[in-house]
Amino acid sequence: MPKPLTDQDKRKQISVRGLAGVENVSDLKTNFNRHLHFTLVKDRNVATKRDYYFALANTVRDHLVGRWIRTQQHYYEKDPKRVYYLSLEFYMGRTLQNTMVNLALENACDEATYQLGLDMEELQDIEEDAGLGNGGLGRLAACFLDSMASLGLAAYGYGIRYEFGIFNQKIVNGWQVEEADDWLRYGNPWEKARPEYMRPVHFYGRVEHTPEGVKWVDTQVVLALPYDTPVPGYRNNVVNTMRLWSAKAPCDFNLKDFNVGGYIQAVLDRNLAENISRVLYPNDNFFEGKELRLKQEYFVVAATLQDIVRRFKSSKFGSTEVVRVDLSTLPDKVAIQLNDTHPAMAIPELMRILLDTEHQKWEKAWDICTRTCAYTNHTVLPEALERWPTDLLQNLLPRHLEIIYEINRRHLERIAKLYPGDHDRLRRMSLVEEGDQKKINMAHLCIVGSHAVNGVARIHSDILKATLFKDFYEVDPHKFQNKTNGITPRRWLVMCNPGLAEVIAERIGEDYIRDLDQLKKLLAFVDDDSLIHDIAKVKQENKLKFSAYLEEHYKVKINPNSMFDVQVKRIHEYKRQLLNCLHIITLYNREIQVAAPGYHTAKLIIRLITAIGEIVNHDTVVGDRLKGLPTSSTYIFSLPCLISLFRFLSFSLSQISTAGTEASGTGNMKFMLNGALTIGTMDGANVEMAEEAGEENLFIFGMRVDDVDAMDKSGYDAMDYYNRIPELKQAMDQIAGGFFSPDQHDLFKDIVNMLLHHDRFKVFADYEAYIKCQEKVSALYKNPKEWTKMVIHNIAGCGKFSSDRTISQYAREIWGMEPSLERIPAPDDPRQ
C-alpha cells in the first residue's frame, strides 16, 4: 500500500507549485523575520503559531501590494470598461495559499519556512476562514473574482464585510448546534480600510416633490466604510479589488443637550445602525422578509453605486478631479452584474441617482440603467424568490418605491400594447403582486431593468424560459442567455490536490491551469498504464490521509481501501440527502441479512443522518464493510474542511437532486476535476458533465425533467412506492418505529410524514433507480483499472467547467469586454 508523501517529498515537487527560483528564499526569510519583529515579538522563542502565521501572511502580502498598485495605475491610465460584480455573499475562504499559488510563491515560501524550522501546513491552518457566504452562490462569486483577475478584466467585487460569517456547525448529541463565526477576532492581514472613500447611506424619511425636482428628506444616515482585499490573477501581475462595506454610525452627538441618559441612548442607537453589517443571513434558498435583510441589500448597492459614479467621473490615478459630467456614456464604461436578486435595489437606486442627482429625463435615465445592469438567476424554488412587502419599502425606502411603481406603470403600458385585453398576462408580469399583502417581485424588477438575464446551467436556463419567466421570454427573447457555472482550477485543483496537479502536468504541461480545455489531451493517455498507476497512487495516498484525518478528529476508523461515497451539500430537501439515508439503511439491512440553522426539516435530516451513523458504525455484524459519517460530537464543515475532503480525495459523489430543482451545482464540478465519479440525476450541470465526459462515464439514474413534469400532472403517490417496494418499506418502518432513535421512538415522525404525504421532491420515485445505480458503482469499483480509466475520462472532460470559460462568456456576451492573458509589467519592471 503506498505511503503518504513526506515533507521532504513535497519539497522535491516542482512546476505547478512555483519552484525554479521564482522568488529568493533568503529574501523571504528576511522579510518574515522583519514582520515577526513588527508584531512586537522580539524573541522567536516566545512567538506563537499565530504570530508566525501573521508574519508569513504579511510577507506574502508584500508581494501583492506593488502589483495591486501597479494594476490600479494601469486601469486609470488605460481607462478600460470596468465590471462591478454585486453580491451579498463572497465565500472567499482562506487567502494565504491561494495567493502563494497565483504569485508562484508556494515552494519558495515552503522552503523558507522549512529553513526557519516551521511547518507551512500548520501555519496555513491558523488562518481564519472568510466564510462570508452560505454555499454555492458565495463560492461562485469568489471563483469569478479569481477568473476576472486571471483574464485581465478591470473588475471589482462589491459586498458586505460581515462581522460574523456563516455559522460554525457542531453536532451535539446528534443535533446541529450553531456557533457564531467570529472570523475577525484576531484581525485580517489581507484587508485594508479605506476611510477616505466612506459613503453615506440613507434610510426612512419622506419624499418631497418640488419645482426644483424630487427630494428625499429627513432620512437616517448610516456610513459605509470600505475595506479592500486584493484579488490576484494567476501569474499575470494583475491584482483586482474586492471592496466590502462595513456599517458605521455617524458621529453627530449633540453635546449642547448632553445628559447621561441621552448619551447612552445615542450609543445604543449607533449599535443598531452598525447591525447592518453584523451578520450574514444563514439561508440562501429560503426567503425571509426581514427589515434588516432589506437594509443590508440597499446598504451595499447604495454605497457601491456612489463609488461607481465617483470612479466613472474621475480618470487618472489618485485624482478627485471630475472629468466626466455626462453619465450618458456610463454603459460604455460600466457593467453591473447582479448576483441573484439580493442586489436588485441597484436598479431603482441607479434611477434615483440619474433622476434626482444628475437630473436626467426618465427615458434617458432608463436607457442608461438597462444598458448598464444585467441579472443572474440562481434558483427556481418558489421559497427562495424575493418578494418585499410594499409597506416595508414605503417605510424604509419611500423614494425607491415611487420609482418602482413608475417602472411598473411604464412596463405594463408596453405589455398592454403588445397584448391588448390580456389582463391575466398583465397580472403575471407585473412587478407588484396584489393580495392580502402587496409585494414587489424582485426577479421581475431585475428582468425589466436589465439588458441581459442568464441562468447558470443550460437546463436551468431552459426551465426559466419555459416556466418561471416564460411571459418575459416571449416579450424579450434577446435578453435571455445561459452561462453555465464554473470553478477556478487554481484553488480547486492546484491548491487542493497538488499531487494530481503534478501528475497531469507531467503528461500535458502546465498550461492547462490557464486553459482547462487542454485537459482533453489526457484522452491520449487513457490506456496508458503509467498514468493509470500514477492517478491510482495519488488517490490512494489521499484516501490514506483522509482515513487518518477521520480517525484523529472524529474517532471513526474506516478502511482506506473501501469506496468513499460522499454528498457534500447544504442540507435541503431538494438536494435529497434523505435518498442517500435510505440507501445507507438499505445497505445496512442487506449486510445484516447476509451476515443550515435553516429550518426544522433540515435540522431533523441532520439528526437522522447522525442517528443512522450511530447504529451502523457500532454494529459488530456489519464491521468495517459500511460506515456512515458524521458521528462525532463536533462536526464543523467549513471551507478548509471541504478543501481537505478534496485533498483526501473521495471516490464517488452523490448529486441526486430532483431533476429540475438544482440550478447548476459546482460541487459536482470540483469532484469531477479531482477524479471522483458522479452518481446523479440529469439535473443542473450534471447534464453538461455527461455530455463532456460521456454519459457512459457517469452513473446517471432517475427521472428526467419531462418525467417529473408528467408526474406533477398525473400525481405522485408516495404510498404506492412504500407498499410496492419491500426494502423501502422496511427502511421507512425502521425510521418510524424508533430503530434509529431508541430513546425517542417518534423523533423522526415529521420526516416520515413529509416523505409519505408531503414530499415535493419525490424521493421514493427515484429510490429503486438509485439503489440499482449504486450497485453498478460497487461492481465497477471491484475493477480498479476500468474505474481509473473512467476517472481519466472525467478529468479530461472538465475543461468546460472552468470559471475562466464562464467569465469569458460573460465578458464577451453581456459586459462588452474582451478577456486577455497578457501580463502587465511587474512592480520592478520599467513602466511603458
Any idea which of 174-178, 394-398, 633-637, 760-764 has the lowest mean pLDDT? 633-637
- Contact by Cβ (8 Å): 663, 460: yes
Per-residue confidence (pLDDT) for residue 380, from 0 to 100: 86
Stretch 647-667: mean pLDDT = 67
CA dist 208 to 58, 205, 215, Å? 51, 10, 5
Give the best-scoring range by mean pLDDT among 30-34, 249-253, 492-496: 492-496
Helix (H) or strand (E) holding 122: helix 120-126
Per-residue confidence (pLDDT) for residue 564, from 0 to 100: 82
Task: Catalytic residue, from 490, 575, 800, 805: name it.
Answer: 575
Per-residue confidence (pLDDT) for residue 626, from 0 to 100: 55
Per-residue confidence (pLDDT) for residue 17, from 0 to 100: 52
Per-residue confidence (pLDDT) for residue 465, from 0 to 100: 96
* Phi, psi of 463, deg, nearest 5: -65, -40
Per-residue confidence (pLDDT) for residue 645, from 0 to 100: 39
CA dist 356 to 223, 397, 673, Å? 20, 14, 50
Position 260, amino acid? V
Stretch 485-494: mean pLDDT = 96
Catalytic site includes residue 661: no
Stretch 39-46: mean pLDDT = 62
Per-residue confidence (pLDDT) for residue 598, from 0 to 100: 44
Q: Of 314 and 259, which is predicted with more confidence?
A: 314
**Where residue 718 falls among pLDDT bands split at 50, 70, 90?**
very high
Q: Of 739 and 414, which is predicted with more confidence?
A: 414
Catalytic site includes residue 256: no
Look at residue 698 and tell me whether its pLDDT is greater than 90: yes
Task: Catalytic residue, from 99, 666, 678, 788: name it.
Answer: 666
C-alpha cell at 687: 447534464
Angle at Cα 643 formed by Cα 640 and Cα 646, nearest 5°?
Answer: 155
Catalytic site includes residue 666: yes
CB proximity list for 214: less than 8 A, separation 6 or greater: 207, 208, 355, 356, 399, 402
CB proximity list for 575: less than 8 A, separation 6 or greater: 567, 569, 656, 657, 662
> What pLDDT digit, counting tens, does each position of 380-425 carry?
887 778 999 999 999 999 999 999 999 999 999 999 999 999 999 9
CA distance 377 to 503: 37
Catalytic site includes residue 575: yes
Per-residue confidence (pLDDT) for residue 601, from 0 to 100: 58
Look at residue 42 and tell me whether its pLDDT is greater than 90: no
Task: Catalytic residue, from 17, 569, 607, 762: name it.
Answer: 569
Task: Catalytic residue, from 570, 583, 647, 789: name it.
Answer: 570
Total residues belonging to the chain: 832
CA quadruple 276, 281, 284, 286: dihedral sign: negative
Any idea which of 23-27, 28-32, 235-239, 745-749 has the lowest mean pLDDT? 23-27
Per-residue confidence (pLDDT) for residue 623, from 0 to 100: 57
Closest CA to 476 of 382, 336, 375: 375
Any idea which of 119-123, 217-221, 252-256, 730-734 has the lowest mean pLDDT? 252-256
Stretch 125-132: mean pLDDT = 89
Look at residue 30 and tell me whether its pLDDT is greater than 80: yes
Q: Of 654 and 121, which is predicted with more confidence?
A: 121
Strand boundaries in 14-167, DSSP class E: 82-86, 90-93, 130-132, 155-160
**Where residue 218 falls among pLDDT bands split at 50, 70, 90?**
very high
Per-residue confidence (pLDDT) for residue 37, from 0 to 100: 65
Look at residue 20 and tell me whether its pLDDT is greater than 50: no
Stretch 699-710: mean pLDDT = 93
Per-residue confidence (pLDDT) for residue 603, from 0 to 100: 57
Task: Catalytic residue, from 243, 378, 400, 762: name it.
Answer: 378
Closest CA to 683 of 698, 664, 666: 664
Look at residue 444 and tell me whether its pLDDT is greater than 60: yes
Give burial (CB, 10 Å; 0-12/13-18/19+) of 644.
Answer: middle
CA distance 794 to 522: 10
Task: Catalytic residue, from 352, 514, 670, 793: name it.
Answer: 670
Give burial (CB, 10 Å; 0-12/13-18/19+) of 209.
Answer: exposed
Per-residue confidence (pLDDT) for residue 487, from 0 to 100: 96
Any idea which of 494-508, 568-582, 650-664 has the lowest mean pLDDT? 650-664
Look at residue 785 and tell me whether its pLDDT is greater than 50: yes
C-alpha cell at 300: 451595499
CA distance 700 to 678: 8
Buried b (16+ CB within 10 A) or exposed e, 699-717: bbbbbbbebbbeeeeeeee
**Where residue 146 falls among pLDDT bands split at 50, 70, 90?**
very high
> What pLDDT digit, counting tens, does each position of 304-337 carry?
999 999 999 986 555 556 678 889 999 999 999 9
Look at residue 200 and tell me whether its pLDDT is greater than 50: yes
CA distance 73 to 825: 11
Catalytic site includes residue 583: no
Per-residue confidence (pLDDT) for residue 584, from 0 to 100: 84
Q: Of 165 and 172, which is predicted with more confidence?
A: 165
**Where residue 31 falls among pLDDT bands split at 50, 70, 90?**
confident
Any idea which of 25-39, 140-154, 392-406 has the lowest mean pLDDT? 25-39
Q: Of 20 and 215, which is predicted with more confidence?
A: 215
Stretch 512-532: mean pLDDT = 97
Look at residue 569 and tell me whether its pLDDT is greater than 80: no
CA distance 502 to 510: 9
Per-residue confidence (pLDDT) for residue 554, from 0 to 100: 76
Stretch 646-671: mean pLDDT = 70
Q: Of 604 and 811, which is predicted with more confidence?
A: 811
Any idea which of 255-259, 467-471, 551-555, 670-674 has the lowest mean pLDDT? 255-259
DSSP string across 704-720: -HHHHHHHHHH---HHH
**Summary count for the chain: helices (H), strands (E):** 33, 23
Stretch 806-829: mean pLDDT = 94
Per-residue confidence (pLDDT) for residue 9, from 0 to 100: 47
CB proximity list for 699: less than 8 A, separation 6 or greater: 652, 677, 678, 679, 680, 773, 776, 777
Catalytic site includes residue 378: yes
Computed over every residue of the chain, the mean pLDDT equals: 86
Any idea which of 156-170, 531-545, 639-653 has the lowest mean pLDDT? 639-653
- Contact by Cβ (8 Å): 500, 493: yes
Per-residue confidence (pLDDT) for residue 787, from 0 to 100: 95
DSSP string across 753-822: HHHHH--TT-TGGGHHHHHHHHHHHHHHHT-HHHHHHHHHHHHHTTGGGBHHHHHHHHIIIII------P
Per-residue confidence (pLDDT) for residue 134, from 0 to 100: 82
**Where residue 7 falls among pLDDT bands split at 50, 70, 90?**
very low
- Contact by Cβ (8 Å): 582, 731: yes
Look at residue 23 and tell me whether its pLDDT is greater than 60: no
Per-residue confidence (pLDDT) for residue 199, from 0 to 100: 97
